[in-house]
Structure 1
Amino acid sequence: MAVWQNKWRWDTGYSADSVEWCPVEPYRDVLVCGTYQLEKTAEQDTSSKQTRLGRIYLFIINKNTTELNPIHTIDTSGILDQKWSYHTIMDYPTLAVVTSIGTLQLYRLTNESGALELKLWLEHVIGENILALSVDWSTNKTSSEDPSLVVSDSAGSVHVLKIVGDGLKVVGKWESHGFEAWIAAFNYWNTDVFYSGGDDCLFKSYDVRVPDIHTTSNKRHEAGVTSIRSHADVEHQLLTGSYDEKVRIWDTRSLKSSIGEIDVGGGVWRLKWHPHKRDTVLAACMYGGFRVLRVSDQTEILSEYLGHESIAYGADWQFDSDLVATCSFYDCKMHISEVPV
């Protein structure tokens, strides 16, 4: 088993649920960590509307790093998910963020003042009195000046939006799930196609050219569907993760049943394909810690990391090294580890 060598640990202040390395050159040493926390007074007073606070921390982590210190901090509403576009948009690395007040925010990574920082570029209200739960870009494989984003929400809906100039245009809304739509994601090989997973245990696929309906609905998961990830380098390959503690491998040409599965010992909140090793996957497994998996003819667990003391929510590979960022919720921790694979 490959050994995780922990290099740094950092206290995130609020509960941490998202870590994402920038995929765009020359900024691949840039990492964001997103946090989410109920205001203490809201926890004590059930009659008041709950206020969820959040912060985005921006780091540079490279061979010169000796300790973790954010170079920029943004106070915002609670962060539920963040994703970098794999390609610049109008020459800027761009970060999509979804929040506890139902908004989609797009931030540009800028260097105008001589120091890197995130600047809010666009903001769109997905809905009132909902949480925006997940976000994905259509452009993880191919670049586009007018990329689309898919956002899921706590009311069970899925939204597709497109960047048009300096604005966001709504392409459509699908009322998909009876409970929370935990996850939505594109097929990176055919970005008219996208998927969603919900707390109703359903895994659905859609085509934006067929508005208002799903094209398939799969009932094979034994609990809520919490993670979906298309493979940008292997056509037709898709992963799902579920509260049922299984990672399933799918061929997108036939979504009636998965072509493989593996039990990872915890509810699967995040799945990330390795940027260079096609059969290697990083999984955040909630109460089961973090795992590195090999997904091939013989699917297996290659290594595990149990160094966090709370729910394993956020995980990502750095694009140019063996570094992995992980974060956990109630203990408010972010770890950077070296993971040879």
Structure 2
Amino acid sequence: MAVTWNTKCKWETTYSADSVEWCPVEPYRHVLVCGTYQLDKSHQDTKDADQPKQKRLGRIYLFQLQKITLEISPIQTIDTAGVLDMKWCYHTIQGNPVLGVVTSEGYVQLYQLLDENGTMKLQLWLEDAIGGNVLALSLDWSTNKVTNEQPSLAISDSSGAVTIMRVVGRSLEKIGLWQTHSFEAWIAAFNYWNTDVFYSGGDDCIFKSYDVRIPDVPTTTNRSHEAGVTAIRSHVDVEHQLLTGSYDEKVRLWDARNLKRCITEADVNGGVWRLKWHPYNPSVVLAACMYGGFRLLRVDGDVEVICEFLEHESIAYGADWKFDESVVATCSFYDCCMRIGEVVL
């Protein structure tokens, strides 16, 4: 049977949209967030040295979608710095779902999702700078597979570094900083089966693995990518299975026990920005492929494209599965658009 992907609704995001994330925590899987990023051009033509530097503005939109209809609107809008990435923790922390956000001002922010008589609200809970004049580019939680009341976060940044932080009580504790790449560290991600291990991908085309117990030195360095490494995703359900994506328009499948050579690779006709495994079909992957639109991939020994979604008119950045059904949210940059679609596999 052919795979279909049908748009159910779309929404204009005002600012350029680059991140969408469904809440994975029961009973809040109807909650969706969209993050945006926009250069503030209000002072770009001035030559006055006293004027502030160009700022990157951002907004986080919160949706509560018990039923997806043609007309949707956010129930909350939060103004912040430019949002580069967002990820929900897969379990509650201190009783609440928690959304992690990284910003253009080099901060990691943790928001608690509060339930006020059935109405959801995000409230800033913890915030810390990763240091230096950097953009925080991506983040990942260590506990997508195993619950831990003190989960760790891996945050990559524009200086080429990865910072590991841990939630301890009501604060963020810095575990360490690894200077992983000579240019932007586009992505950092944990091995969910062994959370002492994390991976990084950089604009220097290098894919690395690290162990937090070993300072500074990578455990593996792989140079097989032909352009910047922009996406890394460990599989929650299949041990040792790992995907990477790159500006070279290829998705690579790896065995985490041997990162010298990938198992297989596939051309997806677009630079790969995000990869998301299907929440209950372990062989299906959602890929945001930048100028190539969005793709569904089947990963079963080989990697193959099984569906294309080309309705967005700009760079395909944000993509995520709803956690209890085959519904996807996607967003694109310059056309400032978020779409929600139904996938039939």
Q: State the TM bucket, normalised to the shorter chain.
A: over 0.9
Change in CA separation of 1:214 and 1:13 when aligned onto 2, cut-off 3 Å? same
The answer for the alignment partner of 2:181 in structure 1 is 177
Say which is worse superposed, 174-183 or 110-119, in terms of deviation. 110-119
AA paired with 2:249?
E
The answer for the alignment partner of 2:342 in structure 1 is 338
How many residues end up aligned between the 2 structures? Answer: 341
Q: Distance in 1 between matches of 2:222 and 2:291?
A: 26
1:226 aligns with 2:256: no
1:214 CA drift (Å): 1.2
Matches within 5 A, 1:41-56: 41-45=42-46, 49-56=53-60
1:233 CA drift (Å): 0.4
Runs of 4+ in 1 over 3 A off after TM superposition: 42-48
Q: Distance in 1 between matches of 2:186 and 2:45?
A: 26
Q: Distance in 1 between matches of 2:287 and 2:193?
A: 22
- 5+ residue gaps, structure 2: none
Contact 1:195 1:205 in 2 (8 A): yes
Say which is worse superposed, 107-116 or 42-51, in terms of deviation. 42-51
Q: Distance in 2 between matches of 1:35 and 1:218?
A: 32
1:130 CA drift (Å): 0.7
The answer for the alignment partner of 2:145 in structure 1 is 141
Matched residue SS, 1:49: coil
TM-score (norm 1): 0.98
The answer for the alignment partner of 1:240 in structure 2 is 244
Matched residue SS, 2:312: coil
Matches within 5 A, 1:152-301: 152-301=156-305
Matched residue SS, 1:36: strand
Tell me the alpha carbon deviations over residues 114-170 of structure 1, each in whole angstroms, 9 at most, x when there is no partner: 521100000010123210000000000010000000000000000000011111100
AA paired with 1:104?
V
Q: Distance in 1 between matches of 2:225 and 2:212?
A: 24
TM-score (norm 2): 0.96
1:104 aligns with 2:105: no
Q: Distance in 1 between matches of 2:187 and 2:138?
A: 5
Change in CA separation of 1:64 and 1:316 when aligned onto 2, cut-off 3 Å? closer
Q: Distance in 1 between matches of 2:45 and 2:117?
A: 42
Matched residue SS, 1:315: strand
1:4 CA drift (Å): 1.2
* Aligned equivalent of 1:325, options 320, 323, 329: 329
AA paired with 2:31?
V
The answer for the alignment partner of 1:57 in structure 2 is 61
Matched residue SS, 1:299: strand
Change in CA separation of 1:195 and 1:43 when aligned onto 2, cut-off 3 Å? farther
AA paired with 1:36?
Y
1:254 CA drift (Å): 0.4
Change in CA separation of 1:42 and 1:268 when aligned onto 2, cut-off 3 Å? farther
1:40 CA drift (Å): 1.5
* Aligned equivalent of 2:313, options 309, 312, 319: 309
Matched residue SS, 1:40: coil
Q: Distance in 2 between matches of 1:229 and 1:69?
A: 30
Change in CA separation of 1:204 and 1:42 when aligned onto 2, cut-off 3 Å? farther
Q: Distance in 2 between matches of 1:36 and 1:64?
A: 25
Tell me the alpha carbon deviations over residues 22-63 of structure 1, each in whole angstroms, 9 at most, x when there is no partner: 000000000000000000225445875220000000001233
Q: Distance in 2 between matches of 1:274 and 1:324?
A: 10
Contact 1:317 1:324 in 2 (8 A): yes
Q: Distance in 2 between matches of 1:299 and 1:6?
A: 25
1:299 CA drift (Å): 2.2
**Percent of aligned pairs sharing the same letter:** 66
AA paired with 2:74?
P
Q: Distance in 1 between matches of 2:163 and 2:303?
A: 33
AA paired with 1:15?
S
Contact 1:96 1:106 in 2 (8 A): yes
Tell me the alpha carbon deviations over residues 224-259 of structure 1, each in whole angstroms, 9 at most, x when there is no partner: 000000000000000000000000000000000100
Change in CA separation of 1:45 and 1:130 when aligned onto 2, cut-off 3 Å? farther
Contact 2:111 2:123 in 1 (8 A): yes
Q: Distance in 2 between matches of 1:188 and 1:280?
A: 18
Change in CA separation of 1:119 and 1:160 when aligned onto 2, cut-off 3 Å? same
